[in-house]
Every structure is written in structure tokens, then in C-alpha cells.
Amino acid sequence: MRHAKRVDSNHAQIRDELRALGYEVHDFSHVGGGVADLCVRTSPTMSIWLEIKATNKDKLTDKEVIFKTLWADVYHIVTTTREAEDILLCIGLGI
């Protein structure tokens, strides 16, 4: 039995604000199976995965932990657009 995919209350805001800032954002929240919520293109040859959580206290599911492990170099958990933007700025600066 499949369950409906739940998105956090801040999901749409973060996605839409990143797009408004000019980032190419692909929404994978409907996929499930632990796949991160957003894929953000950072350059012609690189993207990062963003897992959106409503608060810093929210835990990853077992499947999300597996996905995080597989994509550790380009996987980040965020709760705000500012956190996401800081990560994207650091990547752009090579930090």
C-alpha cells in the first residue's frame, strides 16, 4: 500500500523563493522513497539535493538516511530559504 507523500509546511515557500532568486529548482517531493525534496542546479555540471524539514528537530526517515548516505557530498537539510541560499552561496564560492 502506498501512502500519500507529505510535504513540510515550508516546502513551497523555499522552492518558490529559490526560483525567484534565479535558481533552477526541480521538485522531487512527489517521488517518495527517501529521495530528497529538491534538486537545485548550481552550475552546468553540478546540482545539489535539499531535504526540507519544518524544524531542526525533525528526523530523517530510514529511506531518507539511505539517500543522504548515497549522495552525502551534495545533500543538505534545510528549514529556511536563508539556509538553502547560504549553502548555494558557499558552493558558488568553492567553500
Helices marked H in the chain — which ranges? 11-20, 62-70, 81-93
Q: What is the CATH number of the domain that holds 83?
A: 3.40.1350.10
Cα 58 from chain centroid? 14
Residue 38 falls inside a structural domain: yes
Residue 5, domain member (yes or no): no
**What pLDDT digit, counting tens, does each position of 30-44 carry?**
999 999 999 999 989
68 band by pLDDT with thresholds 50, 70 and 90: very high
Percent of residues in the chain assigned helix, strand, coil, to nearest 5: 35, 20, 40
**What is the pLDDT averaged over residues 2-14?**
80
Would 31 be classed as within a structural domain? yes
What is the average pLDDT across 76-87?
A: 97
The domain in which residue 81 lies consists of 11-93
Look up residue 87 and give its amino acid: I
Residue 1 falls inside a structural domain: no
List the beta bridge partners of residue 75. 49
CA 57 to chain centre: 16
- In a domain? residue 3: no
Q: How many domains does the chain have?
A: 1
Structure-derived torsion over alpha carbons of residues 85, 44, 70, 63, reported in degrees to the nearest 10: 60
CA 91-72-2 angle, to 5 degrees, is 120
pTM beyond 0.85, yes or no: yes
Residue 58 lies in a domain: yes
Residue 4 placed within a domain: no
**Joined grid coordinates for residue 78:** 534545510
Residue 62 within any structural domain of the chain: yes
